[in-house]
Amino acid sequence: MVKERRAKPFLFLFTGEEFLRGNKVEFLLDQLLPRELHATNLFRFYPDDLSWPPILSQAATPSLMGGAQVFWVARVDRLKKVDFEPFASYCSHPASQTYFIFEADELPSSHPLLKLARTFGEHVHIERHAKEEGLNLMRAKLKRFGKTMTPGAWQTLEERLGGSGRLMDMALDQLMLYSEGPAIDEEAVGKLAHAFLHYEPFDLTEALVQKDTDQALKIFHFFYEMNADITMIVGLLHWQLKRIWQAKKLLARGANPSDIARMVRIPPFRLDSFLSQVRRFDLEALERLLDLLWKMDWDAKRGATEESVAMEAFLATAAG
């Protein structure tokens, strides 16, 4: 008897650039699972939470609410000593209407998930042309609202926000709301920066490395009041801490400043202050911050604590 093939794969692996990766995961989620079922049928796991027996047991059990179930495993690259054999066995006989999404910055070529994704699903690697794809998403948003941006405005916005796709996307919402006329130029971006963008991702990590809790909380509340989206702020802080971690590793290997700027996308005028932060962060402390950040995010998402309170507690711990 030939087993019926699914209309969609049940296994998806996303690696590469974080902003665009997040957009693609969110788009896939909307295809797999109606929004009204996210609270009951979407299960998200971080490295410290991954245990195959309860996950696979739940995957094999139909949802009481009906419909599909989605298991989303973030930061696979930070998993330590996890045996993927139980999941590989599951892949041979997956439950119907059950999907697995894995995501990571990068994975070594020998990682078992790469083989499983090739055999049973899809692997989407977002690196080459990632910046241009992210800009295309933002251009499409502008077009929907009847707006355009000059090349100089794009460059100014990227440099002002340190190349953060998340923050640029948020700033676009402000620009579309307050700019006059269909074309947004450098002057409009300058006015936005003066009126709204009092702080940048660099300022938050600077407060952390200086152990200035009051300043860190002040900057957090600035971003939160602009957007009220903890997920965006967590992603923004993780993105900046990750760049500092990458730069610290590169410095240890003897990379020169210009190569670091190119590899972690730091504009030339920002390079000296960025490298100053990099040198002042302790590598082990930085890795602990990244782990604490993801644990805080997960605790908030599963309802163990209120999101803004969780972020405040994280910043107090990180800067204390």
Enclosing domain of residue 208: 199-320
- Final residue of a domain: which of 146, 178, 197? 197
Those residues whose C-beta lies under 8 Å from the C-beta of residue 99, and which sit 6 or more positions away, are 8, 10, 11, 12, 32, 68, 69, 70, 71
pLDDT digits (tens, 9 = 90+) for 180-228: 788 888 888 877 776 666 777 788 899 999 999 999 999 888 878 766 6
For range 52-60, the mean pLDDT: 92
Which 3 state secondary structure label does DSSP give 162? Answer: coil
For range 261-289, the mean pLDDT: 86
Distance between CA atoms of residues 270 and 272, nearest Å: 6
What pLDDT is attached to residue 85? Answer: 92
Q: Which of 288, 239, 284, 290 is nearest to 266 (CA)?
A: 239
> Does residue 42 form part of some domain?
yes
Token reading at 69: 């179930």
Query: For 98, phi and psi rounded to 5 degrees?
Result: -130, 130
For range 133-160, the mean pLDDT: 83
If you search the block for the tokens 């797999």, which residue do you land on?
Answer: 32
For range 162-174, the mean pLDDT: 75
Indicate if the pLDDT at residue 294 is higher than 80. Answer: no
Q: pLDDT band at residue 176, thresholds of 50, 70 and 90?
A: confident
What pLDDT is attached to residue 155? Answer: 78
- Most confident region among 50-54, 61-65, 168-172 by mean pLDDT: 50-54
Structural domains in the chain (count): 3
Distance between CA atoms of residues 306 and 300, nearest Å: 6
- Cα→Cα distances 158→166, 202, 257, 267, Å: 11, 13, 20, 9
For range 76-105, the mean pLDDT: 89
- Final residue of a domain: which of 167, 197, 227? 197
Q: What is the b/e burial string over 42-70, where b = at least 16 CB atoms within 10 angstroms of the residue's CB?
A: bbbbbbebbebeebbeebeeeeeeeebbb
For range 234-247, the mean pLDDT: 85
For range 46-71, the mean pLDDT: 86
> Does residue 184 form part of some domain?
yes
> Does residue 135 form part of some domain?
yes
Does residue 114 sit in the same domain as residue 210?
A: no
> Does residue 17 form part of some domain?
yes
Does residue 124 sit in the same domain as residue 175?
A: no
What pLDDT is attached to residue 2? Answer: 36
Q: pLDDT band at residue 1, thresholds of 50, 70 and 90?
A: very low
Token reading at 267: 């504009």
Q: pLDDT band at residue 86, thresholds of 50, 70 and 90?
A: very high
Does residue 92 sit in the same domain as residue 143?
A: no
CATH number, residue 274: 1.20.272.10
